[in-house]
């Protein structure tokens, strides 16, 4: 009987020590949370330790500079385009820096990364995302200005637009010159045409015209026409000089076969609030689609590819409840342009 009791006692003691060892092992395990605070970009929680070796970051701004040290004053390792991917090396600065990107002020740390060709450097945290961004396949020098307009920064938008316009005038000096408020444009044929306000075929002539840019791949000079209370744009054929009025700012497709025109105005209601698409069916420049919007404004459209446009739809400034959304304009199976929400 004593032998049986002794065996039971040993079993009981062994069980207790086994439990103690199990609890001790669990208490020494550490949960690693590799995340940085990122209140301004939506970006972001880093993955777990096991995923570290495959974490990819994407540049969401064009001409992003990778630097040797985490400061804008450091030497540039490489400059990359929007959508470029690189590996996050899980090193970041303890401090954050305020930098304005595309009209938005970010307050983010610097992150250490490695490019696809093995170069290491530092990139500003506000300029990258953990998901691949939709890349503008044919960016315009005016895109940053319209980003300001989308965010309601009208004064900065106007300043930005004039700065870019001045650069375009300088760039295209061989084609255009200003004289007493009118523009002289030299066509590819060598013919010089004077663009006066009375050349626009509308009920009320524009009282201010300004040169915007030259689109050589589609063969148009672009002018902005300002009336007493509204704005539209002119496309001047670079060979014939023929003028076509469009209702909004033009953005050309990557293959230069289509032009998107967009205008945003639900507050004043004097300008067109919508989009137009033009193309060259049968070799003639024609309007293929026109759509006006009653509840939201189209902003910052980008060509994703030759058959797809993404547009940010913003509520008017007086609407504080409606949230922005994205819509796409695509070419359907029949070859026609349509809006997909």
Domains contained in the chain, number: 3
Domain that holds residue 117: 49-129
Residue 32 lies in a domain: no
* Residues 211 and 262 grouped into a single domain: no
Let me know whether 164 and 297 are in one domain.
yes
Which of 129, 163, 194 is the last residue before a domain boundary? 129
How far is the C-alpha of 322 from the C-alpha of 309, rounded, in Å?
A: 22
pLDDT in tens, 107-125: 999 999 999 889 999 999 9
**102 vs 257, which has greater pLDDT?**
257
Residue 143's pLDDT band, with cuts at 50, 70 and 90, is very high
> What secondary structure does DSSP assign to 127-139, as a single string?
GEESSPPPP-SS-
Q: 3-state class of 149 per DSSP?
A: helix
Which CATH number is 54's domain given? 2.30.30.40
Domain boundary, last residue among 218, 243, 268: 243
Q: Tell me what pLDDT residue 182 has.
A: 72
- 24, part of any domain: no
Q: Check residue 53 and give its pLDDT.
A: 52
Q: Is residue 3 included in any domain, yes or no? A: no
Indicate whether this model's pTM tops 0.85: no
Question: Is residue 18 situated within a structural domain?
Answer: no
Indicate whether 195 and 335 sit together in one domain.
Answer: no
Does residue 23 lie within any of the structural domains?
no
Burial of 193: CB neighbours in 10 Å, binned 0-12, 13-18, 19+: middle
3-state DSSP assignment of residue 182: strand
Which has the closest alpha carbon to 109: 99, 96, 127? 96
What is the predicted pLDDT for the residue at 101?
86
Do both 162 and 80 map to the same domain? no
Reported for 227-236, long-range contacts at CB under 8 A and 24+ positions apart, including other chains, are 228/204, 229/268, 229/270, 230/270, 230/271, 231/263, 231/271, 232/263, 232/271, 232/272, 233/261, 234/200, 234/209, 235/259, 236/185, 236/193, 236/195
Claim to verify: residue 340 and residue 257 sit in the same structural domain: yes
Are 216 and 298 found together in one domain? no
**Shared-domain flag, residues 71 and 116:** yes
| Spatial CB neighbours of 180, under 8 Å, sequence gap ≥ 6 | none
Q: What is the mean pLDDT of the chain?
A: 83
Task: Confirm whether 187 is domain-assigned.
Answer: yes
Last residue of a domain, one of 187, 219, 243: 243
**Is residue 84 domain-shared with residue 117, that is, in the same domain?**
yes
The DSSP line for 216-269 is TTTTEEEEEEE-SS-EEEEEEETTT--EEEESSEEEE-TTSSEEEEEE--SSS-
Whether residue 128 contacts residue 57, with contact meaning beta carbons closer than 8 Å, is answered with: yes
pLDDT digits (tens, 9 = 90+) for 2-23: 445 444 454 544 544 444 433 3
Give whole-number Cα distances, 34 to 39, 88, 153, in Å: 16, 12, 36
Residue in 33, 41, 32, 34 with CA at minimum distance from that of residue 123: 41
Lowest mean pLDDT among 129-133, 229-233, 310-314: 129-133
- Residues 65, 109, single domain; the answer is yes
Q: Please check whether residues 254 and 222 belong to one and the same domain.
A: no
> What is the per-residue pLDDT for 267?
85
3-state secondary structure of 195: strand
User: Do 193 and 164 lie in a common domain?
Assistant: no
Model confidence pLDDT, tens digit, residues 239-286: 999 999 999 999 999 999 999 999 999 988 899 999 999 999 989 999
Q: Which residues pair with 262 in a beta bridge?
A: 249, 275
Asked whether residue 7 is domain-assigned, the answer is no
Residue at 291 is within a domain = yes
- 210 and 304 share one domain: no
Mean pLDDT in residue range 200-211: 67
């Amino acid at each position: 009987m004593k032998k049986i009791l002794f065996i039971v006692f040993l079993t009981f003691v062994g069980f207790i020590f086994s439990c103690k060892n199990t609890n001790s092992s669990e208490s020494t395990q550490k949960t690693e949370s590799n995340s940085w605070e990122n209140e301004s970009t939506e970006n972001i929680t880093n993955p777990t330790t096991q995923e570290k070796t495959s974490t990819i970051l994407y540049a969401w701004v064009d001409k992003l500079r990778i630097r040797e040290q985490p400061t804008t004053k450091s030497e540039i390792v490489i400059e990359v385009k929007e959508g470029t991917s690189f590996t996050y090396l899980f090193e970041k600065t303890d401090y954050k820096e305020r930098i304005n990107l595309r009209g938005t002020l970010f307050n983010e740390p610097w992150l250490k990364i490695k490019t696809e060709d093995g170069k290491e450097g530092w990139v500003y945290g506000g300029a990258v995302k953990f998901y691949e961004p939709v890349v503008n396949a044919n960016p315009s020098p005016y895109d940053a200005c319209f980003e300001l307009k989308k965010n309601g920064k009208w004064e900065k938008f106007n300043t930005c637009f004039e700065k870019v316009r001045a650069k375009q005038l300088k760039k295209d000096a061989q084609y255009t010159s200003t004289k007493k408020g009118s523009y002289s444009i030299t066509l590819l044929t060598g013919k010089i045409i004077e663009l006066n306000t009375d050349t626009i075929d509308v009920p009320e002539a524009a009282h201010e015209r300004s040169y915007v840019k030259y689109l050589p791949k589609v063969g148009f000079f672009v002018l902005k026409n300002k009336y007493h209370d509204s704005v539209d744009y002119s496309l001047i054929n670079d060979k014939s000089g023929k003028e076509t009025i469009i209702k909004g700012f033009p953005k050309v497709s990557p293959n230069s076969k289509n032009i998107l025109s967009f205008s945003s105005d639900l507050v004043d209601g004097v300008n067109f609030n919508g989009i137009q698409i033009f193309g060259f069916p049968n070799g003639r420049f024609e309007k293929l689609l026109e759509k006006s919007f009653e509840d939201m404004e189209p902003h910052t459209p980008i060509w994703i590819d030759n058959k797809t446009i993404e547009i940010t739809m913003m509520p008017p400034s007086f609407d504080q409840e409606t949230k922005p959304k994205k819509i796409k304009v695509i070419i359907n199976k029949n070859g026609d342009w349509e809006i997909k929400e």
